[in-house]
């Protein structure tokens, strides 16, 4: 299994280079657990296929709307040169009506047809916006009846931290998911605004400090899918990439067990090191995570209000429980 | 907006005392100022929206109840409303040529009321500082200090403008320039009143509830 | 300009304006000070009084009315009101909804 | 190595370390900027032209001169921003699985300056300049309503542009993009002066634009010639009016956004910070309340230009005038209802997303109406493929592709997928380049003969056209593909080998575009050189339809010796057909014009000083600048201006000379439109 290949770092990203503040980071990394790392997926050519229902539906919507639009756009692309050429000045055979400037029929058409199309699209927008609301729970895939997998996501400069609250493990810049199981991401940021995108699995949502946004997705086939931050956040931005490894359920539980056994500890101290600005030299896994870490990260931005801290923290953890 | 409002007007070959191109007509100047005020109104409206969005974020600091007081706000309202009235009389004095003394006197009175308003506000701000309600404490206070002092700044500029007009009236009397300027100043002054009504209603009174 | 009559009439406008303004402001302050009703009701009434006062100021101090000569100004003000309404209502709708979904 | 010099407190944070000495590319750019500025200044000094420039240009309040100065500013800034675009394209083509030739930090500054310049200091000045020049002539006015205010707006905009140019030398600029999203732009994450440069440059420009909007709107309402009803105005004036309305109501949102961001940064307040109760979503909301109307501000005037072009070069009435006017107004109003589509991915409810998505799509309807109206304008016309029209044709074909991608982005679930990717970059360049930029270049080529009395060389114009259009498709179509694959915008480096061919294509396109830019410069140089061959002094080289063509080229400073009386649409075209064009006056009257004023340039300088002082925390400079501006305005209000009279003798001399040229000119048929034979008198018999 590729994801158990251990030791291999992504060859293509020269992580850590050119970005300051990373030397201690890199050092820490060397001693950390290396379970579950794999190379950045590389492709020979452009392929835009979805590997999960959310991305598939979004892509399908894109294609449908584009085709529909072509009905009004292609005529323009064809008519413009044709009319211009047909009525060129030299072409004395074509009619010349310098005073002609109105036709009721045409008027109805040029307002009516686009209006009709927009009406059609509007219906789709209304229904699909709701259906594909990132906060909306999605069903498990065929043959999988497991409860959704919760993952808490923390956007950092310039890396992503994923906490599996029920498995009590965490990963940095790598996300391992069981195929067919619905995944419920809870996103926040411990720096500026970021945006998480895994193009082949689901569209993006912002992650913002002190707030929690949600995103549901599901991988329907095993594979390695690139993920990234798309909201500019400084000089390491372009290197803030990670890989989603979709594996079957058994492999997933084996992986969890392996990380639990071999991964390092993510406590407050270690978190502070991880959160420091920089691009990590390699992905990393943690076999043990402070239970309230995520809640504290969120609550931190409400720190000056004592009442708020506790409610935010409890809400952040509380929501996890509600989800089940 | 009225279509064809210019039809029937005599066309003007060159020099024309009332509609020359060197000086925009009174209508133009006044309309231009109206447009400016509407742009300014959008600015205030957005500051209100920001205040409404951030007003609950006291971040553990003092809230509206802790910092606002009705008395001073009522006093400030009274002064500002009276100043609008005195300015109104000044406008009438100008329009019906009731003499420079009345005009200047009313302007002076308006100025005094305006300064009184500013003085009370400065006192308010000082009291707030005393209570530790600094703009840096929370988003609520930041939004408050963005909205109310912007109005304060406008009133201050209005006061400077009144002084300038009083001097210019002395220097050149009531001519076309001073007249349209006074008209614009009047619009500005009454407009600031309206903004203040919104401030006391949606900031102070709402905060005290 | 019709001399004295005009002066009186317009002066009356200003006096009416002042009385209305003082009355409406006073009512709003008094309501909050005495607090006879639940907060929501009071807030609604205060808002209504503010709008009334806005109209009074426009009418009595800024001389905006439905007369032909002021049409440009009136239309400008109405258009501004629409834009401000869109911006403020839209912003609050969005921000409150976001706050609710992200906490 | 940076040279650290202890800065005295009187220079605030400014020290020699601000010089961009650590990167050869940045240092080179700074050097070019300094040498360029010195070169220009030296040339003017050597020629002894400072006095002339001050008297005739900088202090001028003539709408025509102000218009030309705006366009010059826009072209200079365009040159810089296009070069930055090329550097970015080359970097992305180079930095695939390696670092590339510029640092990530520098790349951040590049897209920020490129975007900010293109929007605030290229598109805005360009369209303001064109409207300034053309609109008063088209409505038969002698100037705008507030000529001095016009000069002040220009100088404030120029001050903002100067600040961006200064940031090239006393670096760095912001890396927050043209939208300056908080909290990245908060002090905690962007501690340097970069964001402050952005804030004050943009603020100066937005104040200038607000004043411009007011000025134009009042001019159009109040200064139309007798008979020029609103519904008889050329369509360009309508778009100018709608753009002005958008400026008046949208600019305050930007001012509030940048002002509050400045309060956060300077005074430690908490509007958009991530602690202290601040809310970054409020920033996004404010910015796009402005940002969305802004994209229509920059495109509507181009729509107006194209309307003039299609009708003029088809020798035919504009098809569907009323529906075009209606469509323009609808777009203007709708553009205040869609701003949320820039942050569909922020997490608000689906019904909010859907509502704003649908509102966004509605804009497609009036836009489509316009597109069809333009095609129908050519239908049954006699189309002449002059360079300005070529830009128009390329616009039509290209713009609808951008519109298509815009509609896709307006579908929230689709946006989730391609938001913040190069798909978005492709969309907006697909609107801004054919829409805004081609429109403005076409306007420049269309009205150049009006402003300077000679035509631009067609040949170089066509070369420029070819390069720009091909370059555009090469540079931006690949970005749609990359965006669908999820390549994020603003990436200094790329880590996907499969992207390489597409990025190479895009870089090639950018090179072509730069060549197109060079062709435009050459066109200007060659046209100046051969100006005698291309003179069209009589004033009507294109068989024009609206009043600006009824004057000499260039028009006299008073525009019209006698304000024309208008009886319908296409006023000048009708006059020519009914033999009432070029009326000979038997008697001339003196004309009162506004005098030149130095208040504009002074406010520009003081505004720049204030901004610079604020950027570098040089208290005394900012204070003096502000106080100076206040006193300058007050002092200026004490100066009594009586205006300047152009005597009837002088009017008569000017007019007689023009009429002599008129009589001497041979009316030229459209056959010889681009010949030296064309002296600006159209043959109306054909
Ligand atoms: C000149 C500038 C310009 C123009 C004219 C437009 C026009 C449009 N834009 Fe674009 N835009 C522009 C400039 C930008 N847009 C942006 C971003 C942006 C986004 C946000 C995407 C995101 O951040 O993820 C959306 C949803 C749109 C939608 C649209 C739509 C629907 C139109 C419509 O107006 C297009 C209408 C035209 C059409 C549709 C084609 C012709 C019509 C025909 C042929 C009739 C038939 C049509 C129908 C049936 C619909 N734009 C950004 C990004 C800023 C940033 O993030 O930095 C910029 C700069
Ligand atoms: C002339 C050819 C042009 C080229 C080759 C070009 C290229 C680019 C590139 C490479 C970027 C950065 C893309 C990224 O974020 O990945 C960019 C951004 C941008 N460009 Fe252009 N551009 C051109 C013209 C224009 C014009 C004419 C305008 C506006 C009128 C414009 C407005 C912008 C804006 C607003 C941005 C976004 C900046 C940001 O991210 O904040 N560009 N352009
Ligand atoms: Cu938009």
Of A135, A312, A315, which is closest to C101 when you measure between CB atoms? A135
Q: State the pairing for strand pair A183-189/A174-178.
A: unpaired
Q: Residue A322 above 60 pLDDT?
A: no
How far away is chain C from the Cα of D352, in angstroms, using its nearest Cα? Answer: 7
Structure tokens at D678: 């064309």
Mean pLDDT of A183-204: 97
Share of chain B above pLDDT 90, in %: 75
Structure tokens at C59: 């009418």
Query: Which residues, 6 or more positions from C56, have their beta carbon under 8 angstroms from its beta carbon?
Result: C17, C20, C21, C24
Which C residues in the span 73-102 are in contact with A, Cβ-Cβ below 8 Å? 101-102
Question: What sections of A177-246 are H helices per DSSP?
Answer: none
* D300 φ/ψ angles, rounded to the nearest 5 degrees: -60, -45
Using the 8-state DSSP alphabet, how is residue A90 labeled? T
Mean pLDDT of D338-351: 97
pLDDT band for position A302 (cuts 50, 70, 90): confident
- At A42 the pLDDT is 56
- At A145 the pLDDT is 78
What contacts 24+ positions apart, CB below 8 Å, involve D444-449?
Answer: D444/D71, D444/D130, D445/D387, D445/D388, D445/D391, D446/D305, D446/D308, D446/D309, D446/D312, D446/D388, D446/D542, D447/D130, D447/D133, D447/D134, D447/D548, D448/D527, D449/D534, D449/D536, D449/D541, D449/D542, D449/D553, D449/D680
Q: In a mutational test of the pocket of ligand 2, which residue from D114, D125, D514 has the highest number of ligand atoms less than 8 Å from its CB?
A: D114
* D591 φ/ψ angles, rounded to the nearest 5 degrees: -125, 130
Domains of chain A (ranges; CATH) run 13-48+139-323 (2.60.40.420), 53-131 (1.10.287.90)
Structure tokens at C84: 């401000």
Q: DSSP secondary structure string, A52-70? A: SHHHHHHHHHHHHHHHHHH
In angstroms, the CA D593 to CA D655 distance is 17
pLDDT band for position D5 (cuts 50, 70, 90): very low
Q: Are D600 and D176 in contact (CB under 8 A)?
A: no
Taking Cα atoms as reference points, which of B199, B209, B159 lies closest to residue B74?
B199
Contact C83 D249 (CB under 8 A): yes
Q: For residue range B83-130, what is the model confidence (pLDDT) as tens digits?
A: 999 999 999 999 888 889 999 999 999 999 999 999 999 999 999 999
Contact D347 C86 (CB under 8 A): no
How far away is chain C from the Cα of D230, in angstroms, using its nearest Cα? Answer: 14
Q: Domain B36-47+69-208 adopts which CATH fold?
A: 1.20.120
In angstroms, the CA D19 to CA A142 distance is 62
Q: Domain D58-595+641-664 adopts which CATH fold?
A: Cytochrome C Oxidase; Chain A (1.20.210)
Least confident of A91-105, A181-195, D378-392, D413-427: A91-105
pLDDT band for position D20 (cuts 50, 70, 90): confident
What is the sign of the dihedral through the CA atoms of D339, D342, D345 and D346? negative
Q: Residue A206 above 70 pLDDT?
A: yes
Q: For residue range A100-154, what is the model confidence (pLDDT) as tens digits?
A: 999 999 999 999 999 999 999 999 999 999 999 999 999 988 877 789 999 999 9
In angstroms, the CA D86 to CA D515 distance is 11
Q: Residue A71 above 80 pLDDT?
A: yes
Residue A153 DSSP SS3 = strand
Residue D668 DSSP SS3 = strand
Ligand 2: does its nearest atom lie under 6 Å from the Cβ of D178? Answer: yes
Q: Are D411 and A124 in contact (CB under 8 A)?
A: yes
Contact B197 C53 (CB under 8 A): yes
Mean pLDDT of A45-59: 84
Taking Cα atoms as reference points, which of D248, D258, B145 lies closest to residue C83?
D248
Q: Residue A320 above 90 pLDDT?
A: no
Q: Are D558 and D646 in contact (CB under 8 A)?
A: yes
> Which residue in chain B is spatially nearest to A300 when comparing CA positions?
B59
Q: For residue range B42-56, what is the model confidence (pLDDT) as tens digits?
A: 999 999 999 999 988
* A90 φ/ψ angles, rounded to the nearest 5 degrees: -70, -25
Mutate to test the interface with B, among A209, A210, A306, A308 (most CBs of B within 10 A): A308
Q: For residue range D279-317, what is the model confidence (pLDDT) as tens digits?
A: 999 999 999 999 999 999 999 999 999 999 999 999 999
Q: Residue B68 above 70 pLDDT?
A: yes
CA dist D681 to D550, D582, D584, D662, Å?
A: 10, 11, 16, 7
Q: Residue B155 above 80 pLDDT?
A: yes
Q: State the pairing for strand pair A149-156/A183-189.
A: parallel
Contact B34 C76 (CB under 8 A): yes
Share of chain D above pLDDT 70, in %: 99
Q: Residue D139 above 80 pLDDT?
A: yes
C65 C-alpha to ligand 1 centroid (Å):
40
Q: Between vectors from CA A213 to CA D253 and to CA A243, what angle results, nearest 5°? A: 115
How far away is chain C from the Cα of A218, in angstroms, using its nearest Cα? Answer: 22
Instruction: List CB contacts (< 8 A) between B68 and chain C.
Output: none
| Chains A–B, number of C-beta pairs less than 8 Å apart | 11
Share of chain C above pLDDT 90, in %: 64
**Mean of pLDDT over chain A:** 83
Q: For residue range D557-606, what is the model confidence (pLDDT) as tens digits?
A: 999 999 999 999 999 999 999 988 898 888 899 999 999 999 999 999 99
- At B16 the pLDDT is 35
Ligand 2: does its nearest atom lie under 6 Å from the Cβ of D119? Answer: yes
Q: Are D297 and D124 in contact (CB under 8 A)?
A: yes
Of D177, D274, D410, which is closest to A209 when you measure between CB atoms? D274
How far away is chain C from the Cα of D445, in angstroms, using its nearest Cα? Answer: 36
- At B1 the pLDDT is 33
- At D10 the pLDDT is 80
Taking Cα atoms as reference points, which of D405, D461, D394 lies closest to residue D433?
D394
**Mean of pLDDT over chain D:** 95
Higher pLDDT, D240 or A309: D240
D280-313 and B26-54 helices, crossing angle to 10°: 140
Query: Which residues, 6 or more positions from D499, have their beta carbon under 8 angstroms from its beta carbon?
Result: A46, D96, D482, D485, D487
Ligand 2: does its nearest atom lie under 6 Å from the Cβ of D342? Answer: no
Ligand number with the minimum distance to the CA of D359: 1
Mean pLDDT of D7-26: 80
Structure tokens at A319: 């929501």
Q: Which residue is associated with the tokens 């690139």?
A: A226
Mean pLDDT of B195-209: 94
pLDDT band for position A263 (cuts 50, 70, 90): confident
pLDDT band for position C1 (cuts 50, 70, 90): very low
In angstroms, the CA D667 to CA D671 distance is 11
Mean pLDDT of D27-39: 93
- At B21 the pLDDT is 47
Contact D401 A48 (CB under 8 A): no
Share of chain D above pLDDT 90, in %: 91
- At A277 the pLDDT is 95
Taking Cα atoms as reference points, which of D323, D50, D608, D97 lies closest to residue A101?
D323
Mean pLDDT of D370-375: 97
How many CB atoms within 10 Å of residue A223? 16
Q: Residue D110 above 80 pLDDT?
A: yes
Instruction: List CB contacts (< 8 A) between A307 and chain D.
Output: none
> Which residue in chain D is spatially nearest to A238 when comparing CA positions?
D491
Q: For residue range C18-48, what is the model confidence (pLDDT) as tens digits?
A: 999 999 999 999 999 988 888 899 999 999 9
Q: pTM, whole model, 2 decimals?
A: 0.94
D427 C-alpha to ligand 1 centroid (Å):
7
Least confident of B36-40, D224-228, D422-426, D578-582: D578-582
- At A8 the pLDDT is 35
Structure tokens at D222: 């109040």
Residue A245 DSSP SS3 = strand
Structure tokens at C103: 């906490």
Q: For residue range D432-481, what is the model confidence (pLDDT) as tens digits?
A: 999 999 999 999 999 999 999 999 999 999 999 999 999 999 999 999 99
Contact A111 D323 (CB under 8 A): yes
How far away is chain B from the Cα of A301, in angstroms, using its nearest Cα? Answer: 9
Question: What sections of D170-320 are H helices per DSSP?
Answer: 194-222, 235-267, 280-313
Interface check for B153 against chain D (CB to CB < 8 A): the answer is no
- At A3 the pLDDT is 44
- The atom of ligand 2 lying closest to the CA of D437 is 27
Q: Residues lining ligand 1, CB < 6 A?
A: A 72-73, 76, 114, 117-118; D 179, 295, 298-299, 341-342, 360-361, 363-364, 367-368, 371, 400, 403, 406-407, 409-410, 415, 419, 424, 427-428, 431-432, 435-436
Instruction: List CB contacts (< 8 A) between C86 and chain D.
Output: 336-337
For chain D, give the longest Cα–Cα distance. 77
* A224 φ/ψ angles, rounded to the nearest 5 degrees: -110, 120
In angstroms, the CA A158 to CA D493 distance is 14
Q: For residue range D655-667, what is the model confidence (pLDDT) as tens digits?
A: 999 999 999 999 9
SS3 annotation, D140-160: CCCCCCCHHHHHHHHHHHHHH
Ligand 2: does its nearest atom lie under 6 Å from the Cβ of D487? Answer: no
């Amino acid at each position: 299994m590729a994801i158990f290949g251990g030791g291999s770092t992504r060859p293509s990203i020269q992580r850590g280079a050119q970005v300051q503040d990373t030397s201690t980071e890199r050092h820490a990394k060397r001693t950390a657990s290396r379970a579950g790392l794999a190379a950045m997926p590389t492709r020979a050519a452009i392929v835009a296929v979805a590997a999960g229902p959310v991305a598939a539906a979004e892509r399908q919507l894109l294609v449908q709307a584009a085709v529909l639009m072509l009905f009004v756009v292609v005529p323009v692309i064809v008519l413009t040169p044709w009319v211009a050429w047909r009525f060129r000045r030299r072409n004395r055979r074509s009619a010349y009506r310098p005073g002609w400037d109105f036709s009721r029929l045409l008027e109805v058409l040029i307002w009516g047809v686009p209006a009709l199309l927009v009406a059609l699209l509007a219906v789709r927008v209304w229904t699909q916006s709701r259906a594909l609301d990132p906060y909306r729970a999605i069903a498990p895939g065929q043959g999988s009846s497991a409860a959704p997998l919760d993952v808490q996501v923390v956007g950092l400069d310039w890396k992503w931290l994923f906490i599996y609250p029920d498995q009590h493990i965490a990963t940095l810049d790598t996300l391992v998911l069981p195929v067919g199981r619905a995944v419920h991401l809870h996103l926040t940021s411990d720096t500026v605004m970021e945006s998480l995108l895994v193009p082949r699995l689901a569209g993006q949502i912002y992650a913002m400090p002190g707030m929690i946004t949600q995103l549901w997705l599901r991988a329907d086939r095993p594979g390695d899918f690139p993920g990234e931050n798309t909201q500019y956040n400084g000089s390491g931005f372009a290197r803030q990439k990670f890989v989603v490894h979709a594996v079957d359920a058994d492999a997933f539980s084996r992986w969890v067990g392996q990380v639990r056994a071999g991964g390092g500890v993510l406590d407050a101290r270690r978190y502070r090191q991880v959160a420091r600005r920089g691009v990590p030299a390699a992905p990393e896994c943690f076999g043990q995570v402070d239970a309230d870490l995520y809640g504290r990260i969120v609550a931190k931005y409400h720190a000056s209000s004592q009442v708020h801290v506790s409610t935010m923290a409890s809400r952040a953890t509380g929501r996890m429980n509600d989800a089940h | 907006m009225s279509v064809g409002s210019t039809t029937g007007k005599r066309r003007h070959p060159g020099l024309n005392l009332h509609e020359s191109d060197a000086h925009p007509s009174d209508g133009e100047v006044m309309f231009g100022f109206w447009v400016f005020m509407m742009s300014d109104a959008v600015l205030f409206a957005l500051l209100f929206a920001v205040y409404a969005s951030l007003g609950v974020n006291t971040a553990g600091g003092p809230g509206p109840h802790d910092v606002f007081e009705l008395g001073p706000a009522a006093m400030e309202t009274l002064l500002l409303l009276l100043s609008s009235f005195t300015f109104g009389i000044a406008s009438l004095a100008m329009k019906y040529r009731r003499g420079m003394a009345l005009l200047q006197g009313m302007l002076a009175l308006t100025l005094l009321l305006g300064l009184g308003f500013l003085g009370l506000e400065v006192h308010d701000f000082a009291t707030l500082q005393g209570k530790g309600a600094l703009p840096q404490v929370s988003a609520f206070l930041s939004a408050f200090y963005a909205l109310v002092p912007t109005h304060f700044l406008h009133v201050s500029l209005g006061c400077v403008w009144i002084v300038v007009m009083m001097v210019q009236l002395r220097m050149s009397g009531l001519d076309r320039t001073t007249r349209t300027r006074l008209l614009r100043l009047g619009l500005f002054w009454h407009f600031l009143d309206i903004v203040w009504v919104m401030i006391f209603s949606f900031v102070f009174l709402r905060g005290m509830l | 300009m019709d001399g004295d009559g005009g002066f009186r009439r317009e002066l009356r406008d200003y006096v009416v304006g002042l009385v209305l303004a003082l009355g409406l402001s006073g009512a709003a302050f008094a309501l909050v000070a005495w607090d006879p009703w639940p907060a929501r009701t009071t807030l609604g009434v205060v808002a209504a009084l503010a709008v009334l006062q806005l109209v009074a100021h426009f009418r009595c101090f800024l001389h905006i009315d439905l007369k032909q000569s002021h049409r440009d100004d009136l239309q400008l003000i109405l258009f501004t009101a629409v834009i401000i309404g869109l911006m403020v209502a839209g912003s609050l709708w969005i921000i409150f909804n976001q706050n609710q979904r992200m906490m | 190595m940076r040279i650290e010099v202890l800065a005295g407190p009187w220079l605030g944070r400014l020290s020699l370390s601000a010089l961009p000495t650590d990167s050869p590319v940045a240092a080179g750019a700074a050097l070019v900027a300094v040498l360029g500025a010195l070169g220009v200044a030296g040339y003017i000094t050597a020629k002894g032209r400072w006095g002339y420039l001050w008297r005739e240009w900088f202090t001028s309040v003539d709408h025509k001169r102000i218009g030309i100065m705006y366009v010059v500013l826009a072209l200079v800034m365009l040159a810089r921003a296009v070069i930055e675009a090329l550097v970015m394209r080359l970097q992305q083509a180079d930095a695939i699985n390696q670092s590339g030739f510029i640092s990530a930090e520098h790349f951040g500054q590049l897209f920020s300056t490129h975007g900010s310049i293109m929007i605030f200091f290229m598109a805005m000045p360009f369209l303001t300049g064109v409207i300034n020049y053309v609109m008063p002539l088209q409505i038969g006015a002698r100037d705008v309503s507030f000529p001095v205010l016009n000069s002040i707006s220009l100088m404030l905009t120029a001050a903002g542009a100067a600040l961006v140019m200064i940031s090239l030398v006393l670096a760095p600029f912001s890396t927050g993009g043209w939208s300056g999203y908080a909290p990245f732009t908060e002090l905690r994450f962007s501690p340097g002066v970069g964001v402050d440069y952005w804030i004050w440059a943009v603020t100066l420009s937005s104040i200038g634009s607000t004043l411009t909007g007011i000025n134009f709107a009042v001019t159009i309402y109040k200064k139309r010639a007798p008979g020029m009803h609103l519904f008889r105005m050329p369509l360009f004036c309508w778009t100018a009016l709608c753009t002005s309305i958008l400026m008046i109501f949208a600019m305050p949102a930007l001012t509030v956004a940048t002002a509050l961001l400045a309060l956060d940064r300077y005074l430690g307040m908490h509007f958009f910070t991530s602690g202290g109760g601040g809310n970054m979503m409020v920033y996004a909301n404010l910015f796009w309340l402005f940002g969305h109307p802004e994209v229509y501000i920059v495109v509507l005037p181009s729509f107006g230009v194209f309307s003039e072009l299609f009708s003029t070069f088809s020798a035919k009435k504009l098809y569907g005038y009323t529906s075009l006017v209606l469509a323009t107004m609808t777009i203007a109003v709708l553009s205040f209802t869609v701003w949320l589509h820039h942050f569909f991915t922020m997490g608000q409810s689906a019904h909010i997303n859907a509502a704003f998505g649908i509102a966004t799509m509605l804009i497609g309807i009036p836009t489509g109406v316009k597109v069809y109206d333009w095609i129908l304008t050519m239908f049954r016309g006699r189309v002449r493929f002059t360079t300005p029209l070529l830009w128009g044709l390329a616009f039509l074909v290209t713009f609808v592709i951008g519109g298509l991608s815009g509609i896709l982005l307006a579908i929230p679930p689709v946006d989730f997928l391609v938001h913040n990717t190069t798909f978005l970059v492709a969309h907006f360049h697909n609107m801004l380049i054919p829409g805004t930029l081609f429109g403005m270049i076409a306007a420049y080529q269309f009205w150049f003969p009006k402003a300077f009395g000679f035509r631009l060389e067609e040949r170089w114009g066509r070369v420029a056209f070819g390069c720009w259009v091909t370059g555009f498709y090469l540079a931006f179509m690949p970005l749609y593909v990359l965006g669908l694959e999820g390549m994020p915008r603003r990436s200094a480096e790329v880590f996907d080998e499969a992207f390489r061919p597409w990025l190479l294509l895009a870089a090639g396109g950018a090179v072509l575009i730069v060549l197109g830019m060079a062709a435009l410069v050459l066109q200007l140089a060659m046209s100046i050189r051969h100006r005698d061959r291309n003179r069209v002094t009589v004033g009507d080289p294109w068989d024009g339809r609206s009043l600006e063509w009824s004057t000499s080229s260039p028009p006299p400073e008073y525009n019209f010796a006698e304000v024309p009386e208008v009886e319908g649409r296409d006023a000048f075209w009708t006059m020519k057909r009914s033999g009432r064009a070029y009326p000979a006056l038997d008697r001339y009257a003196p004309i009162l014009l506004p005098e030149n004023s130095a208040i504009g340039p002074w406010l520009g300088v003081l505004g720049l000083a204030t901004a610079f002082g604020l950027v570098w925390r040089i208290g005394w400079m900012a204070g003096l600048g502000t106080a100076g501006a206040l006193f300058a305005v007050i002092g200026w209000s004490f100066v009594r201006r009586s205006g300047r009279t152009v005597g009837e003798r002088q009017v008569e001399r000017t007019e007689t000379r023009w009429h002599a040229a008129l009589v001497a000119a041979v009316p030229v048929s459209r056959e010889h439109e681009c010949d030296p034979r064309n002296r600006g008198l159209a043959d109306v018999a054909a």
